[in-house]
Structure 1
Amino acid sequence: MEKSTTLAVTAATVYGLLLRILHDLLDQFLGSIISISFVMLAPLTIGFLTIYLLPKDQTKSMVSIIFKPFLPCAILMCITIALNIEGTICWLMIFPLFAFTASLGGIIASQIRKKNDRDSNQKNRNTLYGSFILCLPLVLGFIEGDTTSSRKDFYISRSVIIKASSKQVWKELTNINEIKPEEQKNSLSTFLGFPRHISTTIEKLEIGGRRIAIYDKGLFFNETIAKLENEQLLVLNININPNTIPVKVMDEHIVLGGKHVDILQDVYRLQSLSDGTCKLTLSSHFYINTPFNWYAGLWSEYLMGDILKSQINLIQSRTYKI
């Protein structure tokens, strides 16, 4: 990497890191880091600064303008993960949007530079515009606060056909207990850092009874049986206290039970089929609360679906071993 490129990328990275630190210091006034002002405008200004500081001969092609802003974003991701400022799972989900917006910032910077070249009298004015753009994340952050977040509820389900009777499947479902490592297949959710399922126990199989699901890294869910129909239906209300979830488990901004995401209820349904098999369906009700539910919802549905699939696959594999 050329010296001029290194300087531009370093300056953009330091600027992004300062924005992140200021958001923590001024969170009382700026609201959540999961906001339009940070998630959308911070990468835009990082990309803008990168291209604006690069020599003209390195920004002649649109390819350079689009992809060079990725560099400070990637470095910023590595630094904040290494310093435990942000979690890996949060970054992996947001990076595609972050990088795309950084490219838009690079395109804006290139257009301003072209205007400067065509009209030297406009150079000072365009420089002023550029300085204003760099202040946008903080200025709009004070205005935005948490006002742009909105709740969206999701209901998703996954099903599997098990070659066993409903009675056999029900027995495995209500007696999960300890889960051995070899029983768990690699999945997207575990790859992204979601804790592995260790055990699930039911204290009393009755309405009002408690089921405890334990995961590694200290994560656990207290679940209450809300409805019960033997060998047919198990409805669980999920109560997650975010204060009991260790910081190392999940990024603080997407912690379960927090203000941005929560799981409310799981429903297991068993349906006996005419060929003697059983259809097991696991449904989940959860919500997200962000300014960009259209994007966060895609990830949430995919990850939750992956977790549900892992749960019913465990029951299926255990039933086959009977």
Structure 2
Amino acid sequence: MNKTQRIILAVIAAVAFALIMRGLFALGLHGLYSVMTVTFLLGLPFGVGFLTVYLCKTETIAYSAAAFFIPFIPIFIFFIITLCLKIEGMACWLMIMPIFLIMAGLGGITARHFKLKKWNKNKGFVYVVLLLPFFLAPIEKMIGAIPGTYQAYTEIDIRASKDQIWKNVTRVRAIDQKQDSAAFTRFLGFPRPIKAELDKEAVGGKRKAIFDKGLVFDEVVTAYKPLQSMTFTIHANPYDIPSTTMDKHIVVGGDFFDVLNGTYQLEQVDPHHCKLRLFSTFKLSTTFNFYAGIWASWIMKDIQQNILKVIKERSESADVPIASLHQ
């Protein structure tokens, strides 16, 4: 068997391993396994990288760079298969891809070292690498996720009166797709904001933030100071969100991610210049909040900054009528 044939065999075996591991972890097996664990996040790609390089001819991985990058092939194939079969969503894959590629490369480097040291006659080490995640996962599940709360903070400068700005804060008229500047969340496939409705400008007021693809946030005003601040709780019923809208692992209000509340603050800087702040509190319940928190923060900030830009554009526009609000 020549080098090319061995690489093809190695890639097929690695993809098969990835699919089997993904399937078993998705089954849960009485709650012992889950794809939303550090064990899966690190163990699957490392095993893929190790198996790929282990099955290649030694001359194929003569250089460490080859051992690091060859495992990218089965990772990308696994990526395409799970997307086509709708096992995973694009957003989830884009978030975990950096870790998957790095861990697959490290698995390949480890296997190369293993082969060059002539330890490959000891098959037991291979089994340990491939099967270790199945023994570690139950331990991780016993430890459990430690929920953590985080805050996403955004602000923008607006050259308009507080009256003009506040009118666009409390109620957001329909947002045209051309006004949507949230490139990052659009790239991830998140729903885009459509409008926000408020029944009364006071504590207890009910607000609806409506996004496309059937996503609706039910909000209740918990603190209100006219032309100064508004705080509201945020609730999304994951069972009302169409399954095609968001990946189940990142759906708002689901088992792993939820947005708790939001606050607008308006500060007068000078007679013609204000600063508008929007910050939200969200909760993560995973065993890898250290990584998920980075992505969740980027997503929330992108969504918030998009809304602030819409408010700024409308408030500064000459054709926006001034609300009859008084301080």
- Please say whether Structure 1 and Structure 2 have the same fold, judged by a TM-score greater than 0.5: yes
For structure 1, list consecutive stretches of 5 or more residues without a partner in the other structure.
117-121
- Structure 1 position 27, deviation (Å): 4.5
What is the rounded CA distance, in whole Å, between the counterparts of 1:74 and 1:206 in structure 2?
Answer: 52
| 1:207 matched to 2:203 | yes
Q: What amino acid is aligned across from residue 205 of structure 1 in structure 2?
A: E
Determine which of 4, 8, 22 is the counterpart of 2:10. Answer: 8
Partner of 1:119: none
- Deviations 1:74-128 (CA, angstroms, capped at 9, x unpaired): 1111111111111111110111011111111112211221232xxxxx654x211
| 1:278 matched to 2:280 | no
Normalized against structure 1, the TM-score is what?
0.94
For structure 2, list consecutive stretches of 5 or more residues without a partner in the other structure.
321-327
What is the rounded CA distance, in whole Å, between the counterparts of 2:222 and 2:271 in structure 1?
Answer: 31
What is the rounded CA distance, in whole Å, between the counterparts of 1:28 and 1:151 in structure 2?
Answer: 22
Q: What amino acid is aligned across from residue 105 of structure 1 in structure 2?
A: G
| 1:198 matched to 2:200 | no
Determine which of 86, 91, 99 is the counterpart of 2:93. Answer: 91
- Structure 1 position 151, deviation (Å): 1.9
Partner of 1:253: 249
Give the conservation status (yes or no) of the 8 Å contact 1:242–1:255. yes
Determine what percentage of the aligned residue pairs are the same residue.
36
Inter-CA distance 123–47: structure 2 relative to 1 (3 Å threshold)? closer
Inter-CA distance 135–228: structure 2 relative to 1 (3 Å threshold)? same
Give the conservation status (yes or no) of the 8 Å contact 1:43–1:99. yes
| 1:143 matched to 2:145 | no
Give the conservation status (yes or no) of the 8 Å contact 2:155–2:275. yes
Inter-CA distance 210–254: structure 2 relative to 1 (3 Å threshold)? same
| 1:181 matched to 2:177 | yes
Normalized against structure 2, the TM-score is what?
0.92
Partner of 2:323: none
What is the rounded CA distance, in whole Å, between the counterparts of 2:120 and 2:260 in structure 1?
Answer: 55
Give 1:306-321 correspondences, 5 Å limit. 306-321=302-317
Partner of 1:305: 301
Q: How many residues align?
A: 316
- Structure 1 position 4, deviation (Å): 2.0
What is the rounded CA distance, in whole Å, between the counterparts of 1:26 and 1:112 in structure 2?
Answer: 32
Aligned-residue Cα RMSD (Å) equals 1.6
- Deviations 1:139-168 (CA, angstroms, capped at 9, x unpaired): 222332262422222122111111111111
Determine which of 154, 159, 167 is the counterpart of 2:155. Answer: 159
Inter-CA distance 128–174: structure 2 relative to 1 (3 Å threshold)? same
Q: What amino acid is aligned across from residue 100 of structure 2 in structure 1?
A: F
Determine which of 38, 41, 45 is the counterpart of 1:39. Answer: 41
Q: What amino acid is aligned across from residue 16 of structure 1 in structure 2?
A: A
Q: What amino acid is aligned across from residue 139 of structure 2 in structure 1?
A: I
Give the conservation status (yes or no) of the 8 Å contact 2:182–2:303. no
- Structure 1 position 137, deviation (Å): 1.9
Inter-CA distance 123–305: structure 2 relative to 1 (3 Å threshold)? closer
Structure 2 counterpart SS, 1:290: coil
Give the conservation status (yes or no) of the 8 Å contact 2:28–2:34. no
- Deviations 1:205-233 (CA, angstroms, capped at 9, x unpaired): 22111111111111111011111111111
